[in-house]
Chain A
């Protein structure tokens, strides 16, 4: 798999730190970080990353609405939800919004690698 340019969206500094470390250890590059959904939706068109990791619960705008807005400007956007919400309705809402993957926290290196590879193989090859 080629190295990917990834945008991380999460309101938790701790999660951001962990995600950035894992993504870089896997050989990819974090090109942008957004700490809420609104910022993510606004920044996406300028950043145009290969892939976005998106939290769901965030202040200002949640990750599902941000996913909808990003998909509205780029229907090929590849967004993976990285969240602590495993409820069926939340999963369905995220997928209907356009998410290409759904990972539940805690996210470990192997799990993240597996999801990135699967999604990249399907949508970015």
Chain B
């Protein structure tokens, strides 16, 4: 036996005792030079055949073949080792392949590849990857549904806007004509009826405008045009108007500033929109008055607290337990036959548009207090 043959035989014996598949390939020809016992037992003696044909049943060298990276330009071993995972279609199993080039005893440059079966490990990994894919597919589906939903909402809002605009046009006549009617000869009763008609038209116009504001507040499209607003004056007006429209008792709503009765000259100034502040307070005061037992007093207490103007609207009576957590949510109403469930909701949106916040305090038995915090001008300017 020549020295080369002896050396080859020793190498082959070493490879044969390793319990993983090993094959050796001539890097120039892709001919299999040697296949160890582990592989021979499973695939037969493949020596002399092309590796890609015998092992992978591919007429061409494999796409993942690393031979070109394993030899240098001079055709000698590059010294690099490649370790990668590969799925073998032939036996449906996953392998970790470790490949390196070396000089075979007969002088040829060869690549040896050690293949460790990692199928069991890959099954777990693959299940995870498939679950990840499933999740990504569901996410895509959800975002498509969401896009469709938003498109539908946009379409509906567009139709709503047109409807609101169309509703306003006939109101011009309903609001504009009644003041002219007395000139055409009306008795006292007729003038009263014409005035009622005009007031009803104005109320309806305000309602239409309010729904438009609500839409803009909900969608974040409301642009606040802040000016100085005297909350004390707004609170007095809201109290007065609510009393006139809802409650006929002598003094059901009391307005206080810093614990004292709030007169005409008193002021608590914030930056905001007067009409929106009026809407906030009248909504919440109306809720309080409607919830309070007949003959009881509702209090609006104004004050300052840590950089905020604070308005606390307090009434006897309790908000039902099931409603407390949802008090400011849309369509939440309780005990009112005509309640829309939009009063507290729209008030909170408007408060937020002012950079403020609100909270419900139902902890005191038999009493309900809604507290609003508006940033005072110096605080508001400090908030980015």
Contacts and interface: CB of A to CB of B under 8 A. Distances in A.
A6 interface: no
Overall SS of chain A's interface: mixed
Given A92-B136, A101-B137, A12 B130 contact: no
A34 B59 CA distance: 16
Contact of B130 (A13, A18, A87, A102): A102
B133 A102 contact: yes
B92 interface: yes
Contacts of B64: 57
B129 A91 contact: yes
Contacts of A91: 129, 132-133, 136
Contacts of B7: none
Interface in B57-95: 57-58, 60, 63-64, 86-87, 89-90, 92-94
B57 A13 contact: yes
Nearest to A102: B133
B133 A95 contact: yes
B126 A86 contact: yes
Interface stretch (A24-32, A41-49, A103-111): A103-111
B137 A100 contact: yes
A104 B136 contact: no
Interface residues of A, number: 24
Nearest to A81: B133
Interface string B122-150: 00011011101110110010000000000
A59 B130 contact: no
A13 B59 CA distance: 10
A14 B57 contact: yes
B137 A57 contact: no
Interface of B: 57-58, 60, 63-64, 86-87, 89-90, 92-94, 119, 125-126, 128-130, 132-134, 136-137, 140
22 contacts: A12-B58, A14-B89, A15-B89, A18-B92, A84-B86, A86-B126, A86-B129, A88-B129, A88-B132, A91-B132, A91-B133, A92-B136, A94-B133, A95-B133, A95-B140, A102-B130, A102-B137, A103-B130, A104-B126, A105-B89, A106-B87, A106-B92
